[in-house]
Amino acid sequence: MLTFVPVPTPAKISRFDLVEFVDRRIGAELDDGDVIVISSKFVAMSEGRVVKLATVRPGAKAKELAARHHMDPKLCELVIRESDEIIGGIPGFILAAKDGLLTPNAGIDKSNVAHGMVVLYPMKSEVSARKIRESLKFSRGVSVGVVVCDSRLSPTRKGTTGVAVASSGIEAVLDMRGRSDLFGNVLKVTSQALADDLASAAEVLMGESDEATPLVVARGIGRDLLIDEEYDGGRFAISTDDDVFLRSLGHSQSAYA
């Protein structure tokens, strides 16, 4: 049976040792086969990826985007720096490609951080995930997977769900091609985004406001899905030519294609 255990955590306001924190907070409670789902914002906070907007100097392109989308030019400057590509936007938001993910404002977040500050995406989420996994194997003798997650918007849908931005030690995308369905039809293109599924389930417990729960332990996945591999944003992404949404909307070039 698959279960999810929330791990409430004191708020962090400055850089800290993420690996040591996870080990101290939940290391003794982990079992082989567990998967740690951890908020990308928590990872970013550990890296010191917090920026004071007042220190940002916007360039000409940022000022142009700000005027077009009715946004703070300083925030637009950060979006440009952090994005792989600017796709478009609406008043208040810029849709950007970042590490294989379409996300408003390149994942830059103003929530759960001091006024006037923003949190950027982590530098290398998959590296942080691997360090946590390897440290726990060494210090606790347990084999676990780690998924770094964020909340996302989906086209035509209200509200947010979870998405994996990186993972380590788990088969994050299951290739179902060649298997048969209940009626004997052979699957030709289907894959299961297991890490995304875990991220969405964990997001129910993490919440979006003051829950202070950046860690969730998923238990019951099974050791057969634990593998010695990392997934970064590029491994989760598909090319623009294969993306039904972007291709249908006529977007034919992408930085993460």
Instruction: Write out pLDDT tens, residues 22-66.
Output: 999 999 999 999 999 999 999 999 999 999 999 999 999 999 999
Q: Is residue 218 part of a domain?
A: yes
pLDDT higher than threshold 90 for residue 112: no
Sign of CA dihedral 214, 125, 54, 13: positive
Average pLDDT over residues 80-106: 91
Say how many C-beta atoms besides its own lie within 10 A of residue 230's C-beta: 20
Banded pLDDT at 208 (limits 50, 70, 90): confident
What's the pLDDT at 77?
A: 97
pLDDT higher than threshold 70 for residue 166: yes
Banded pLDDT at 252 (limits 50, 70, 90): low
Q: Is residue 142 part of a domain?
A: yes
Average pLDDT over residues 206-230: 88
Q: Is residue 166 part of a domain?
A: yes
What's the pLDDT at 114?
A: 84
Banded pLDDT at 177 (limits 50, 70, 90): confident
Do residues 129 and 147 touch, judged by C-beta distance below 8 A?
yes
Angle between helices 60-69 and 73-82 (to 10 degrees): 110
Q: Which of 158, 144, 161 is nearest to 197 (CA)?
A: 161
Residues 6+ apart with CB under 8 A from 132: 18, 19, 22, 36, 38, 146, 168
Do residues 179 and 136 touch, judged by C-beta distance below 8 A?
no
Average pLDDT over residues 149-164: 90
Q: Is residue 165 part of a domain?
A: yes
Residues 6+ apart with CB under 8 A from 118: 50, 51, 53, 75, 78, 108, 109, 110
More confident residue, 98 or 77: 77
Q: Is residue 63 part of a domain?
A: no
Average pLDDT over residues 146-158: 91
Q: Is residue 61 part of a domain?
A: no
Residue 50, phi then psi, degrees to nearest 5: -115, 130
Do residues 39 and 208 touch, judged by C-beta distance below 8 A?
no
Q: What is the pTM of this model?
A: 0.91
pLDDT higher than threshold 90 for residue 212: no
pLDDT higher than threshold 80 for residue 20: yes
Q: Looking at residue 215, which CATH number applies to its domain? A: 3.30.1330.100
Question: Distance between CA atoms of 109 and 73, rounded to whole angstroms?
Answer: 15
Q: Is residue 100 part of a domain?
A: no
Whole domain around residue 239: which residue ranges?
3-49+122-248
> For the chain, how many structural domains are there in total?
1
Average pLDDT over residues 72-82: 96
Question: Distance between CA atoms of 192 and 234, rounded to whole angstroms?
Answer: 16
More confident residue, 153 or 204: 204
| Mean pLDDT taken over the chain | 90
pLDDT higher than threshold 50 for residue 245: yes
Q: Is residue 116 part of a domain?
A: no
Do residues 54 and 21 touch, judged by C-beta distance below 8 A?
no
pLDDT higher than threshold 70 for residue 256: no
Highest mean pLDDT among 84-88, 139-143, 238-242: 139-143
What's the pLDDT at 257?
A: 34
